[in-house]
Amino acid sequence: MKKFILPTLCLLVALPSARAQENTGYRKPSAEILKLVDVPRAPSVQMDRALESMVLLYRDAYKTIEELSQQELRLGGLRIDPQANIGSRTTYYTNLKVRHLNDAGSEPRQVAGLPPAPKLSNLIWSPDQTKMAFTHTTASGVEVWILDLATATARRLTEARVNANLGDAINWFKDGEALLVKMLPAQRAALIDQKLAVPSGPTISVADGKKARNRTYQDLLQNKVDQHNFKLLATSEIHKIRLDGSSERWMGGAMYRGIDFSPDGAYVLVTTIAEPFSYLVP
């Protein structure tokens, strides 16, 4: 009897194990439940100064599993997607429509020419309010696109080499014929994997003996590896890119924080980050 019962028990135990290893993939609920949960969000709206045109911005209610599983580096108070070179917590729009308010009976017009599976952000009006520049994040990087409001068409302006890690990636010239864009340097060293890095020495903090209250911040730099990676991700070149797609390097590599034109467009204030880096504040 024991000779027959033991193999039978082994077979019964093995069956659930074999079923548990089946790769069924992620499943969705029934259509009725999905309609209740995945309700389309009402669009956000951006208006021009004259209140004659509006751009409707649509986005998904939830992020995809692919987006949630992207690598994230937390450096200097920032959260960065090192593959795409943009903030890892960026909110993306997935569709654009244009409506001209001077025509009371007009319906929102679908923007033509958008990329497949759009991931749009950083929308900025041109000085004359007839166009908008925005970024599109691809699997390999960030591109700059241009929206013409009169024709409701979009087209790509740059390759996927925009550096949006520190924000303020796009700035219009006052004549509306060109933009200043932060671009990745032509040559950039590789990031250091923190898990594989061997420290060359301890991290030493020096106090002067005075008592002081300090605020606490998240995701600060902690060691030389963090400094190396932050400097690489923050460094960019500034390119002047015209609307016909022609480009020239306007300023060399540096850690550019902000770009601001003067009111008359004759001057540009460029803010950079300089070493040494702090371990106490972003």
pLDDT digits (tens, 9 = 90+) for 161-202: 999 999 999 999 999 999 999 999 988 889 998 776 666 677
Confidence tier at 11 by pLDDT (50, 70, 90):
very low
CA nearest neighbour of 120 among 171, 162, 74, 68: 162
Half-sphere exposure of 172 (CA within 13 A, CB side): 22
Confidence tier at 40 by pLDDT (50, 70, 90):
confident
The whole-number pLDDT of residue 31 equals 84
Q: Is 14 helix (H, G, I), strand (E, B) or coil?
A: helix
Confidence tier at 62 by pLDDT (50, 70, 90):
confident
74-124 tens-digit pLDDT = 999 999 999 999 999 999 999 999 999 888 778 999 999 999 999 999 999
Burial class (CB in 10 A: 0-12, 13-18, 19+), 264: exposed
Which position has the token pair 């992207």? 70
In this structure, of 66-70, 145-149, 207-211, 224-228, the range with the lowest mean pLDDT score is 207-211
Which position has the token pair 């509306």? 176
The whole-number pLDDT of residue 220 equals 93
What is the rounded CA–CA span in Å between residue 7 and residue 250?
77
The whole-number pLDDT of residue 214 equals 75
- Asked if pLDDT for residue 17 goes beyond 80, the answer is no
Tell me which H or E stretch contains 225.
helix 224-234
The whole-number pLDDT of residue 4 equals 52
The whole-number pLDDT of residue 207 equals 67
- Asked if pLDDT for residue 60 goes beyond 70, the answer is yes
Confidence tier at 9 by pLDDT (50, 70, 90):
very low
The whole-number pLDDT of residue 67 equals 78
Question: What are the E-state strand segments in the chain?
Answer: 44-47, 53-58, 73-75, 78-81, 86-87, 95-100, 109-110, 120-125, 131-137, 142-148, 153-156, 170-172, 178-183, 236-242, 247-254, 256-261, 268-272
- Whole-prediction pTM: 0.83
Tokens found for residue 139? 């699997």
Name 147's Cβ contacts closer than 8 Å, sequence gap at least 6.
55, 96, 98, 111, 131, 132, 133, 134, 153, 154
Residue boundaries of the structural domains of the chain: 40-192+215-272
The whole-number pLDDT of residue 66 equals 78
CA nearest neighbour of 142 among 133, 150, 151: 133
Give the mean model confidence (pLDDT) for residues 53-57: 96
* CA distance from start to end of the chain: 73
Confidence tier at 64 by pLDDT (50, 70, 90):
confident
Apex 256 CA angle, 225 and 122, nearest 5: 105
What is the rounded CA–CA span in Å between residue 132 and residue 148?
7
Tokens found for residue 198? 């061997």
Name 262's Cβ contacts closer than 8 Å, sequence gap at least 6.
268, 269
CB 239 within 8 A of CB 249: yes
The whole-number pLDDT of residue 177 equals 96
- Asked if pLDDT for residue 8 goes beyond 60, the answer is no
Give the mean model confidence (pLDDT) for residues 127-135: 97
What is the rounded CA–CA span in Å between residue 146 and residue 153?
8
